[in-house]
Each structure stands twice: as C-alpha cells, then as structure tokens.
Amino acid sequence: MAELLAAAQQVLTLHTVAMISLGLVIGILIGAMPGLNVPLAVAIALPITFKLDPIGGIALLVGIYKGGTYGGSISAVLINVPGTPAAAATAADGSALTRQGHAGKALRMSLYASIIGELVSDIVLIALAVPVALFALKFGPIENFALGLFSLTLIAVLSEGNMLKGLAAGAFGVFLSTFGLDPLTGDTRLSFGVHQVTAGWSFIALVIGIFAIAEAMSMVEKRWAKPLATGRVRLSDPAHRLTREDWRAAAPAIARSAPIGVFVGAVPGLGSAISAYLNYGIARALSRRPERFGKGAIEGVAAAETGNNAVTGSTFIPMLTLGIPGDVITAIMLGAFMVHGLVPGPALFRDHGDFVNAFFVLMLVATFAHLIIGRLGLSLFIQAIKVPNTILFPTVLVLSLTGVYVATNSLFDIGVMLAFGVLGYGMNKFGFPVAPLLIGFILGPLVEVGLRQSLIIGHGDVTVFFRHPISAVFLSLAALTLVWTGWREWRGRRPKENP
C-alpha cells in the first residue's frame, strides 16, 4: 500500500495529468474520425514521448489508447460508420437508436460502459501482473524461444482471417528484424554495404510507415474529400437521457462483458474488435428478447462497448510480465518503454518496481480522467466526424514526416518510412494483415536469440525444447493452434452440399 501511495504522488502531478488528458482528447478525436485508427495515432505520438520523462510519455500513449478505443463509437452511433473496427458491433444498435431520436442514450451508454470495462480491466492488471511476473522469472532461453514462437504463431493466426497470409506477414517481420548487427557475435549482416542499415531498421520509421503513410495512401486512392455530415444532437433533451429501465436492461450485459473482455485482452493477438463482437453475440444469445438487437437494444451498445474497452488494461499483462505485446497498440507502445530503458519482462518488476507501481496508478487515473473528459467534451467530440479528409490526411502526412525526422535526425529514415508506407499499402491492398509483421519485427530477436542460445545449451540437440516442461507446453500450444485454425479454415472453405 505504501508503494502505491508513493506512486500516486508521482503520477498525480500537473504534468502527468495534463499528458493523460491530452492523450484522451487526441484518442477520442482520432477514434471518432472514420478512416483513422488508434495504432496510427499512437505511432504518430510515439516520437514525442522520447522527449518526455518515462511516466509523462507513457501517460500520453495510455490516454490515446483508452480514448481512441472508445472514440470509434461516436461515429458508429451518429452516422453508422464505425471509427474503429471494434465499434462496428456498436453501430448495429447505436445507429438504430439515433434513427429513433435517442442518439444521446447510445452515446452516454457507450461512454459509461467503456469506463466500467476499463476500470475492471485495470483492477485485474494490478492484481495479476506481479504473480505472472514472478512465474516468468523461471524463464530461460529455452522457455523464451518457445513463448516467442507461440506468441508469434498465435498473433499471426488470429490476425484478420487468413492464416497463411498472417503467418507470411509474421515471418517477414521476423526477417526484417535480422538486419543489422548479429545479437550474439556482433557481426554485420544484411546491410549490403549501407552503413545506415548496420543498426537495423528504425522502429519509428517502420511503425509510422506501415500505419500512417499506408493509411494516407489508401485515403488518397479512395478520394474521400467530403466530411460525413450528421444532424445536431442536443444532449440536454430528455429523449437523450438514460433511464432506470435502460440501466436495468444493460446491467447484466455489462457484468458479463467486462470479465470476458479482460480475458480476451490478456490473450496476445485477439484485441478489442474480437472482444466487442464476442460480447455482443453473447448478449444477444442470452437476451430474453433477441429480436430487439439490431433495432435499438441499449444492452447491445453496453455489451459491445464494455467488451471493447475491457481489453485496454489486460493487454498490458503479457507485455509487462513477458515482454509479449497483447495487441498491435501495445506493440507500438513497447518501443516507448524500451527507449526509456524500461525493458518489459520479469526483470522490469525487479529492477524498476517504482515505475511499475506508478504505471498501475496511471491506468486508474486515466480511467477516471476518461470519464470526466468524455462526459464534458461529448458535444465537442461529436463535431470531429465533420472534418474534411482533404484537410485531415495532409496533416497526418506532415506529422509523420516531422515525427520521424525529430526522432531519428536522419533523412535516410524518412526514406525508410516512405518505403514501409508503400509496403503497408500493398499489404492492405492484397489482404495481408499488418499487425503480424510488426509483432514479428518485435519478437524476432527474442525468438532468434532464444533459439541459438538453446541450441548451444543443448549442444545442438533440438529435443532440449521438449525436455523443459514450460517450453514443451508452449510449443504444443503453438502446434495445436496451427492445426485447429488450419482445420477450421479448410472446413469453412469446403463447398457445401446441396440439399
């Protein structure tokens, strides 16, 4: 308790609270704008955090993460265009409520349900992170390799549908991580005589390229020039207020969705979209009046938004304790941790316990700040969906170029960013998920070093991975995941017999 009180004094400063608030505002606005997304916002903000103290920098990114995950519901409710993929589940009933003249109800419920989901997720993070970290201290090179391989497989397989394309993207990310110096011998490899490559590809250039630049290229192709208009919503009108009946209908859905969302967030590779759809489906299946779903069921909005934001705390459990990002956003945030010398994993709890406690308090403060800012600024955030993309995306491009140059002070890395932007655009065009590439790039060194050190320990005997129980479990899970997913996709693609 004394440690948490000391951490609270460290977090509850004007600077840190300002960073949290700024992040929340940016995140909500970005989430509410169709075409933009939370990974893009976090990627653009990442270089800024390098100039801040660790707590202030992480506070900004946490605010963007929490605010952006919720913000997608605003455009989903008002114009039936989800600002984020996870908000698509919210759009079904939220937009129906808007057509019925109850947009304020849907907007308020999406905010309050999101806050409840976040709060439960933060509490679980604080309760479970230390025990998981203590268990992870038993890991050596053999266990690290098995864990990295399992996580890479899981993330690639569960990313956006196609197993082979997900695995290919993840493998390519691992390949990109091998450029530069050999982590064991220090020899230069795959530099092709270009001295800028000897340090490997810039993480900042890669992240901003495959997210921000690729997204800007897609928007130019689609020529989205006009703002998405919406009618004026007067939140003070009685028709837009939540009633006791609304809360009575939504309470069971919220109570179910919060723990399910926490579990989904703790499994690497699943993320908020899967949690939102899963909880929406469960709420409909267990409802006494399932026919109301899709036609303005307030519990549908509550289930989707609770599950959506319930992942925002639990995704940090595998990242903080094992160094394995829970989703693509925490993968980007991993860079901010490492730049400040905070390497996620069990050693983080041992060597930087004061920072870990401050991070726990930071998550709770961000949740309460989200409630205040979300409620006070709701009328302002509604206007975000009216910004023309002819203004929006040139601004994104300028921020991307500036961010990379400020972070790296290298024109070469700006070229790298543009090249990765073209790569990200091509991957989106041909249906290759981008998230596995990023996760592969991050996990590549862990997998490579773990494999090589394990073979040295085992004198070249590959059975060493199966003689260690923890390693054997993770490798078995990786194999089962591949087999199960492959069988599911094969079964789904079989031609159905005509009756």
Whether the Cβ atoms of residue 436 and residue 109 lie closer than 8 Å to each other: no
Furthest CA-CA distance within the chain: 74
Task: Look at residue 85 and tell me if it is in a domain.
Answer: yes
For residue 225, is pLDDT > 50?
no
For residue 367, is pLDDT > 90?
yes
435-462 mean pLDDT? 84
Which pair of structure tokens corresponds to residue 165? 């394309």
**Which pLDDT does position 226 carry in this prediction?**
47
User: How far apart (Å, rounded) are the C-alpha atoms in residues 105 and 370?
Assistant: 18
Task: Look at residue 313 and tell me if it is in a domain.
Answer: yes
Task: Look at residue 498 and tell me if it is in a domain.
Answer: no
Task: Look at residue 118 and tell me if it is in a domain.
Answer: yes
Which pair of structure tokens corresponds to residue 215? 């997204």
Task: Look at residue 268 and tell me if it is in a domain.
Answer: yes
For residue 233, is pLDDT > 60?
no
Residue 188, phi then psi, degrees to nearest 5:
-80, 135
Scanning 137-161, the segments in alpha helix (DSSP H) are: 141-157
- Residue range 51-95, pLDDT digits in tens: 888 899 999 999 999 998 888 888 778 766 666 667 777 877 887
Task: Look at residue 483 and tell me if it is in a domain.
Answer: yes
Range of the domain at 79: 2-490
Report helix, strand or coil for 377: coil
Whether the Cβ atoms of residue 223 and residue 193 lie closer than 8 Å to each other: no
Determine the length of the chain.
499
**Which pLDDT does position 371 carry in this prediction?**
93
Helix and strand tally (H, E) in the chain?
24, 2
Query: For the chain, how many structural domains are there in total?
Result: 1
Task: Look at residue 308 and tell me if it is in a domain.
Answer: yes
**Which pLDDT does position 81 carry in this prediction?**
62
Contacts 24+ apart (CB under 8 A), 78-83: 78/103, 78/107, 78/230, 78/233, 78/382, 78/385, 79/34, 79/228, 79/229, 79/230, 79/385, 81/34, 81/228, 81/385, 82/34, 83/31, 83/32, 83/33, 83/34, 83/36, 83/385
Count of beta carbons in the 10 Å neighbourhood of residue 341: 10
For residue 112, is pLDDT > 90?
yes
> Which string of b and e fits 380-418 if b means at least 16 CB within 10 Å?
ebbebbebebeebbeebbebbbebbbebbeeeebbebbb
pTM of the predicted protein model: 0.69
Task: Look at residue 496 and tell me if it is in a domain.
Answer: no
User: How far apart (Å, rounded) are the C-alpha atoms in residues 359 and 126?
Assistant: 9
